[in-house]
Structure 1
């Protein structure tokens, strides 16, 4: 049974779409359809019910799916284990990271990594931290460099690399800008623009606000911190952003009772083999933190 057929089957099952699966695997739709058809011919059962544009797994498809995932993961684990036999570190390393970390933390790390390990084929996926963690758990990614989960996830190991203090900010022309003393109650009277509810950052911020008895009045929410920075800068509301993003377009509000921080770092699956390429990156990240003064 060809593993490429299994990969196509699993990706379609996860996406619920031949078109999306083809895009993720960098295939044409006819090509991915042929792989599924060939797999169905090999096992003698239809794997998907196709009704118009909607697809769903047949009983045979639901039965095969966990076995297909296990086969693909065992093959990937074997490749990672064998990577330690080579003196030169190489191969493919799949990592997922957020846009914020990709812009503000990773460039010097990846520059050093590609210089030290030119034979590694870096496969970088930009996505929400929560999605990256799920992809690591599912075996689709070897490592995540993410905002760490607020609660430990089963089978997911994590290592903090960068503490990331957050600041309450407004635009320069916001009514609260320049206030020397500000209470949390006064802040809550104004609309906020905050990270989306599904994000770890949103959970960290709202949990701290609720602990202090404040409920933010959220005007807009988005996953992208760069967008939140723009929205705050033009005066649509106050926000909570990493201190590393602050510039002259924003004014930091000092609220004595409010202190918020998140942690950025690594996640990997505790029961799956770690390749030599991944271990090299895991070792490099803390070194980078030391050189940058633990920012």
Structure 2
């Protein structure tokens, strides 16, 4: 049974769409359909029900799925174990990271890494930290360089790399701009632009606000911190951003009793054999300040 057939099958099962699976695997839709047809012919059962644009697993598909996942994971673990038999660090290293980390933290690390290990093919995917963690758990990525989860996830190992203090920011013309000692309830009287509720960063911010009995007036929410920086900078509301993002477009607000910090770092699956390339990148990371 071709592993490419199994990979196509698992991707469609995860996406629920032939089209999205084809895009993820960099295939045409006819090509991925042929792989599924060939796999169905080999096992003698249909794997998907196709009703209009909806795709769902058949009983045979649900039965095969965990075995297909394990087969693909075992093959990948074998490849990594073999790569560790020699001293040369090379091969493909799949990484998921957020846009913020990719812009503000990773460039010097990856610059040094690629100079030291030119035979490694970096396969970098930019996505929300939450999605990257899910992909690591599912075996789709070897490493995540992410905002670390606020609560432990099963089978996910984590390593802190960058403590990331956060601060309240507003536009320079905002009534609170440059003030210190602002009561939290006064801050809450003004509209806010905050990270989307599905993000770890949102959970960190709102958990602390709720602990102090405050519900923010959220005018807009988005996954992207760079967008929040822009929205705060043009005066749409206050936001909570990493201190590393402060510049002349923003003014800091000192709020009484509000001290927040994210943790940025690495995640990997505890049951998977890390490749030499992954272990080298982990070793390349700076020690937490």
- Pairwise TM-score range, normalised by the shorter structure: over 0.9
Alignment correspondent of 2:210: 210
Distance in 2 between residues matched to 1:122 and 1:54, nearest whole Å: 34
Secondary structure at the aligned position of 1:6 is classed as: helix
Distance in 2 between residues matched to 1:204 and 1:3, nearest whole Å: 41
Alignment correspondent of 1:44: 44
Distance in 2 between residues matched to 1:245 and 1:158, nearest whole Å: 24
Q: Does structure 1 retain, via aligned residues, the 8 Å contact 2:89–2:119?
A: yes
Secondary structure at the aligned position of 1:152 is classed as: coil
Deviations 1:49-94 (A, max 9, x none): 1111111111100100000000000000000111111221001100
Within the alignment, does 1:15 sit opposite 2:15 as a pair?
A: yes
Q: Does structure 1 retain, via aligned residues, the 8 Å contact 2:47–2:57?
A: yes
Distance in 1 between residues matched to 2:66 and 2:250, nearest whole Å: 50
Distance in 2 between residues matched to 1:87 and 1:162, nearest whole Å: 29
Q: Does structure 1 retain, via aligned residues, the 8 Å contact 2:96–2:144?
A: yes
Distance in 2 between residues matched to 1:192 and 1:128, nearest whole Å: 21
Relative to the length of structure 2, the TM-score reads: 0.98
Structure 2: gaps (5+ residues):
none
Deviations 1:206-256 (A, max 9, x none): 111112221111111000000000000000000000011110010000113
1:180 CA displacement: 3.7
Alignment correspondent of 1:283: 283
Distance in 2 between residues matched to 1:167 and 1:44, nearest whole Å: 59
Count of aligned residue pairs for this structure pair: 289
Within the alignment, does 1:95 sit opposite 2:95 as a pair?
A: yes
Within the alignment, does 1:178 sit opposite 2:174 as a pair?
A: no
Secondary structure at the aligned position of 2:118 is classed as: coil
Distance in 2 between residues matched to 1:179 and 1:8, nearest whole Å: 56
Alignment correspondent of 1:239: 239
Distance in 1 between residues matched to 2:274 and 2:286, nearest whole Å: 17
| Equivalence map 1:131-146=2 (5 Å) | 131-146=131-146
CA RMSD of aligned residues (A): 0.9
Secondary structure at the aligned position of 2:263 is classed as: strand
Relative to the length of structure 1, the TM-score reads: 0.96
Alignment correspondent of 1:147: 147
| Equivalence map 1:120-135=2 (5 Å) | 120-135=120-135
Alignment correspondent of 1:82: 82
1:167 CA displacement: 0.7
Alignment correspondent of 2:220: 220
Distance in 2 between residues matched to 1:265 and 1:169, nearest whole Å: 24
Q: Which aligned runs of 4 or more in structure 1 are off by greater than 6 angstroms?
A: none
Distance in 2 between residues matched to 1:117 and 1:78, nearest whole Å: 21
**Which is further off, 31-40 or 47-56?**
47-56
Distance in 2 between residues matched to 1:69 and 1:191, nearest whole Å: 46
